[in-house]
């Protein structure tokens, strides 16, 4: 699963040719969650409240880019990296 961003110990990844709805995986230590890109709702999993807040802040800033990377993944193309939180 390719890494598309990393910040504050949080790793953001997407699978190639993954199932709908458009989503990304956020991993922090042993915890993982899957976030719907369109709604920014949690599909599955959990993170610490602080990590989840950082992920949601990042995702809201990069929602359009996440959708573009999702399309790249669906079409089995190389995935662009997305800037981390500053």
Phi, psi (degrees; rounded to nearest 5) at 65: -65, -40
pLDDT score of 53 more than 80: yes
pLDDT tens profile 57-86: 999 999 999 999 999 999 999 999 999 998
Q: What is the mean pLDDT of residues 12-41?
A: 96
pLDDT score of 1 more than 90: no
Domain ranges of the chain: 3-74
The DSSP secondary structure of 24-45, one letter per residue, reads EEEEETTEEEEEETTT--EEEE
pLDDT of residue 72: 96
Please report, rounded to a whole number, the percentage of residues in the chain having pLDDT higher than 90: 94
């Amino acid at each position: 699963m390719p890494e598309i961003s990393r910040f504050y110990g949080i790793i953001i990844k997407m699978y190639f040719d993954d199932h709908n709805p458009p989503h990304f995986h956020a991993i922090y230590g042993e915890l993982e969650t899957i976030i719907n890109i369109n709604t920014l709702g949690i599909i599955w999993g959990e993170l610490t409240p602080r990590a989840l807040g950082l992920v949601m802040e990042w995702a809201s800033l990069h929602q359009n880019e996440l959708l573009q990377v999702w399309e790249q993944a669906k079409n089995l193309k190389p995935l662009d990296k997305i800037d981390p939180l500053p």
